[in-house]
Chain A
């Protein structure tokens, strides 16, 4: 089984719908992240959490919210999806004991907003 699991792997929805992407990890890491990947743009940080009670905005947080339900679970919500949120979303974790930037990624959740 994967150390970082994302659900759903693929989702097609309509403009205005609420969408939640879920992430769970078995690595025991305190730090969790949500990234968005668009063709030709690399990955951009949406939100990050360094522990259960810590939530921080990243580079592109507008239109997104997150919830850290437990050390192992970090979910990303789109309250009212719009077409330009069509992208590949990745959850990642890291261990605070290593230098920042050594990230362990899930397999990705492909979201299409029509």
Chain B
């Protein structure tokens, strides 16, 4: 099974770009990489998903190198409201069924 490892916490200031890297050395061929954001007392909320190379949407970018053993979530110009826990997820439908491996989460604290 793939194991996902991410930093426990990060600090940043408003307006800065934040990059959070997740390591997933044993990622399977059919696995996708997905990032979620979670606020206290809420369920995780989808941010972005990718398979390889770079994906960008209106809130973030996801960089995945060719070997897919890591991924980096990039949040441009963070604000105080981006203070949350960010989870990396590796998962998909492979032989043996559907599996999802969440990282333990990175607690991002954005300061004014």
B45 proximity list for chain A (CB < 8 A): 105
Contact A101 B99 (CB under 8 A): no
Q: A56 near B98 (CB under 8 angstroms)?
A: yes
Interface pair A43/B102, CB less than 8 Å apart? yes
What residue in chain A is nearest B35 (Cβ atoms)?
A101
Stretch among B12-20, B62-70, B72-80, B85-93 lining the A interface: B85-93
CB < 8 Å neighbour of A42 from B43, B93, B99, B104: B104
Could you tell me how many residues of chain B have their Cβ less than 8 Å away from some Cβ of chain A?
26
Interface residues of A toward B: which range?
20 to 34
- On chain A, the residues within 8 Å of B42 by CB distance are 107-108
- Decide if the interface of chain A is mainly helix, strand, loop or mixed: loop
Contacts of B91 in A (CB 8 A): 100-101
Q: Return the contact of B32 from the options A50, A92, A100 (Cβ within 8 A).
A: A100
Contact: A108 with B41, CB < 8 Å? yes
Q: A99: which of B44, B49, B99 is its contact (CB, 8 Å)?
A: B49
Q: B34 an interface residue at 8 Å Cβ cutoff? A: yes
Tell whether A43 pairs with B87 under 8 Å between CB atoms, given A99-B32, A101-B49, A107-B43.
Answer: yes
Q: Which residues of A contact B4 (CB under 8 A)?
A: 42
Q: Is there an interface contact between B87 and A102, defined as CB atoms closer than 8 Å?
A: no
Nearest CB in chain B: distance from A51 CB, A: 13
A44 vs B4: C-alpha distance in the bound complex, in angstroms?
Answer: 12
Residue in A58, A102, A104, A106 whose CB lies within 8 Å of B34: A102
Q: A102-B34, A103-B46, A107-B41 are in contact. Are A44 and B102 (CB under 8 A)?
A: yes
Decide yes or no whether B109 CB sits under 8 A from chain A.
Answer: no
Interface set of A (CB-CB < 8 Å, partner B): 4, 40-45, 48, 50, 56, 58-59, 90, 92, 99-108
A-B pairs with lowest CB-CB distance, top 10: A105-B43, A42-B102, A101-B34, A43-B102, A101-B32, A101-B91, A100-B92, A42-B104, A99-B32, A105-B44
